[in-house]
Amino acid sequence: MQCEPVQLLPQHAWLRKLVGDWSIEMDCGPDDAGQPTVSTGSESARMLGDIWVICEGRCAMPDGKSGQTMMTLGFDPARGKFVGTWLGTMMTNHWIYEGELDESGNSLTLNTDGPDFEKPGAMRKYRDVISFKSDTHRTLTSHVLGDDGKWTQFMQAHFRRK
């Protein structure tokens, strides 16, 4: 078997914008008492070759424990989609992404399926949206699809380049 050289596409250049060291502030929604839960952390992102980005994060969890995350993202020309994964020490689900850039080229919407956190054993549709506000500021918003067919945002994180 012989591997063909990978043709670099504009989508691969978009992924390169994620590379660097970032500070993170997350709004994880209200706690059981209705108080806002804010968490801070950091992320270091690097390229694997010219076609994949690997983002490794560390954060303080609302319960005071430390969490670690890893996200991988690439672009699959055969599918015409961004593809990737997300893992975190705070849960056992392996999130599998597939997504697209919006027309502006500033936001990447990643769709996935995962556990329903309110109904054990059930699954839900989720989407994460990475949006560049500038070269030094991006956001990640997480949404869940409700039984009513509407997307509800449940988390937002601000990433600022160090």
Question: In this predicted model, which residue has the larger pLDDT, 97 or 1?
Answer: 97
Q: Write down the mean pLDDT value for the chain.
A: 93
- 108 within a domain of the structure (yes/no): yes
Mean pLDDT on 102-130: 95
- 3 within a domain of the structure (yes/no): no
- 130 within a domain of the structure (yes/no): yes
Q: 92: domain CATH number?
A: 2.40.128.20
- 5 within a domain of the structure (yes/no): no
Residue 56 is part of which domain span?
10-161
- 1 within a domain of the structure (yes/no): no
Mean pLDDT on 106-124: 95
Task: Please tell me the total count of domains within the chain.
Answer: 1
Mean pLDDT on 74-82: 96
- 2 within a domain of the structure (yes/no): no
- 24 within a domain of the structure (yes/no): yes
pTM for the model:
0.91
What one-character DSSP code corresponds to residue 105? Answer: S
In 29-65, which positions are buried (b, 16+ CB within 10 angstroms) versus exposed (e)? eeeeeeeeeebebebebeeeeebbbbbebebebbeee
- 4 within a domain of the structure (yes/no): no
